[in-house]
Amino acid sequence: MPLAHLDGIRGDFELWGKLEGSNPSGSVKDRAALAIVREAIASGALGGGRTLVDASSGNTAVAYARLGELLGFPVELYVPRNANPERLQRIRGHGATLILTDPAEGTDGALREARARVGAHAERYFLADQYHNPANPGAHYATTGPEIWRQTSGRITHFVAGVGTGGTISGVGRFLKERRASIEVIAVEPSGPMHGLEGLKHLPTAEVPSTYDPTVVDRTVRVETEEALDRVAELARTEGLAVGPSSGAAVAVALRVGRAAPNACIVAILPDRGEPAAKGTS
C-alpha cells in the first residue's frame, strides 16, 4: 500500500509498504516456513513421526507451530527468552514444544542449542535451519519478488528490507536484479548488537546466515531502535497500520533513501503486524 502521510515524505518519490502481517500466522516468515516444510516432506526428511526443530526470534517459530498443528507433525522450537511474549503464547497455543534460551546469546545461541539437540538424536528430528536452508530465499525469489514486480508494474527503483536470516532481501533482491540490474537493494540492520529490533541481526557481531547473499545487496543502512519505534507509532497514527519494530526500521531507511532520490519508486517490506512489546532487548 502507498505510504503517503509520513513525516519526511517530500518531493516526488513514491513509498510503498509490502504488508506481510496479513499472512496466515501474521508475518513474512510464513513464506519461508511453508517452503521449508514442503521440501522436507517431499524429500522424506520430515514425516514418519520426526520432529521439526529450529531456532527463531519468534515469527518463524509461530509459522512452524501453525504448520505442525495443521499438517500433524511435532515441532520443537528454540527461542531467546526475551522474545515477544505474545509470540511465545501463540507458539504454545499451536501445540509446539518451546525451549527458551539465553537472551544474551540471541538467535545464534538458540541455533547452537537446536543443533546440539538434533545432533544427539538425529534419527528423531528434522533440523529446518532457516538460517542456512536455501528454501528460505527460494520462497521469496518465487513469490515475494514477482509480486512486488507485478504490483509496481515494474516501476520499482529501490527495495528496502531488514536482515534477519537474510532470506527475504536475498530472494527478492536476486529476482528484481534479474529483471533490472539498476534496482538498488538496501539492507536494514540495527545500529549495534544490543537492540530492540526483534528479528533483525547486526551482522558484524553475529553469525552470518548462509541464506544472506551479499552480492545482491547494494548497501546497508543501520537504524537506532528509538527511530524505528518512532516510525511504528507514526505508521499507526498516519496510515492506520499496526506493525512491528522491524517495519519501523525499514520505513525509516526508506524515507532516507527517498529524500535523496527524487522520482524514486521505493518498496519497503513491512514484515509483521504489531504486537505488545517484549521486555528487554533482542
User: N- to C-terminal Cα distance for the chain?
Assistant: 28
Q: Any catalytic annotation for residue 246?
A: yes
Q: Any catalytic annotation for residue 29?
A: yes
* Identified catalytic residue from 56, 57, 170, 246: 246
CA–CA dist 41, 72 (Å, integer): 12
CATH 3.40.50.300 fits 14-24+134-270, yes or no: no
CA of residue 36 relative to chain centroid, distance: 15
CA–CA dist 161, 170 (Å, integer): 10
What pLDDT does 217 receive? 98
CATH 3.40.50.10330 fits 29-127, yes or no: no
Q: What is the DSSP letter of 57?
A: S
By three-state DSSP, how is residue 153 classified? coil
* Identified catalytic residue from 29, 57, 170, 282: 29
CA–CA dist 176, 274 (Å, integer): 28
What pLDDT does 12 receive? 81
What pLDDT does 282 receive? 32
Residues of the chain with CATH 3.40.50.1100: 14-24+134-270, 29-127
What pLDDT does 196 receive? 87
| List of E strands, the chain | 14-19, 51-55, 75-80, 97-101, 125-127, 158-162, 184-190, 219-223, 265-270
At 126-162, the pLDDT tens digits run: 999 999 999 999 999 999 999 999 999 999 999 999 9
At 71-130, the pLDDT tens digits run: 999 999 999 998 889 899 999 999 999 999 999 898 999 999 999 999 988 899 999 999
What pLDDT does 9 receive? 67
CA–CA dist 107, 114 (Å, integer): 10
What pLDDT does 198 receive? 86
53 strand-pairing partners = 76, 127
